[in-house]
Amino acid sequence: MQKSFKYYDIILAVFAAVLLISNLAGTKLIAFGPITTDGGAVLFPLAYILGDILTEIYGYKYARRAIWTAFGIMLLAVAAFTVVRYMPPAPEYTAQASYEAVLGFFPRIVAASLAAFLTGSFLNSFALAKLKVKTKGEKLWLRLIGSTFVGEFFDTVVFALVAFGGILQGTSMLVYILIGWLFKTGVEVVCLPITYRVIAKMKQIEKIDTYDSKTDFTPFRVDLD
């Protein structure tokens, strides 16, 4: 019998919302001098922090379900935006070109984000769950940073190559990957004290602290058995 949790659904909803908003913001490239990144980098690191919270408290199976739920919401969003894009605009509607300029790129961003998100998130959750068992629940700071370091690296590389391949070249691509990776990991480090408190408080409220010692880590499941 599955246990009912007080805050799991709320965290899952915020997790999915962060992914959707980040993908919309990610259609814009922004530059700080020679440093180029995308608008999604502003909020996307929060998805990894939430993923860490889900895995550390509820375990890999619940994190896996959240990842696939967010994935489904993104597929629905890109389908809706694509259908609306090709529907005939009203005669008085003058923003069709702007709509296509932003949301016309959205499917590619989503494809890149989903491929990167699935790769990075599952690696992050897997690493965190395995390290928790190996360290017997100790050294949370090391587990959080280490798993994010791995997950964000693959996430950033996959996203950059799929989303901006042919747009960013050579050095610009390498700088984009490096800056994105270090920035996202840096956010995890900066937010570590908050993440610590949230995890500790949530474990008390939910009365659970999951160890994935016998978990089936295949990513291609959504059940909790």
Please, which residues bridge with residue 32 across strands? 35
Give the tens place of pLDDT for each residue, 23-70: 788 778 788 777 777 788 788 889 999 999 999 999 999 999 999 999
**Number of folded domains that form the chain:** 1
- CATH number, domain of 154, equals 1.10.1760
- Helix, strand, coil in percent for the chain, rounding step 5: 70, 5, 25
Are 198 and 181 spatial neighbours (Cβ–Cβ below 8 Å)? no
**pLDDT for 2:** 63
Q: Looking at the domain assignment, is residue 47 inside a domain?
A: yes
Considering only residues 79 and 90, tell me which one the structure prediction assigns the higher pLDDT. 90
pTM across the whole model: 0.89
Integer CA distances (angstroms), 112 to 59, 70, 188, in order = 26, 14, 22
Give the domain extent around 131.
8-88+95-206
Q: Looking at the domain assignment, is residue 135 inside a domain?
A: yes
Q: Looking at the domain assignment, is residue 221 inside a domain?
A: no
Give the tens place of pLDDT for each residue, 165-186: 888 888 888 988 998 899 889 9
- Would you say the C-alpha torsion 46, 23, 71, 163 has a positive or negative sign? negative
Window from 19-28, 150-159, 177-186, 193-202 with minimum mean pLDDT: 19-28
Q: Looking at the domain assignment, is residue 177 inside a domain?
A: yes
- The residues, ordered by sequence, that sit 6+ positions from 31 with a Cβ below 8 Å of its Cβ are 37
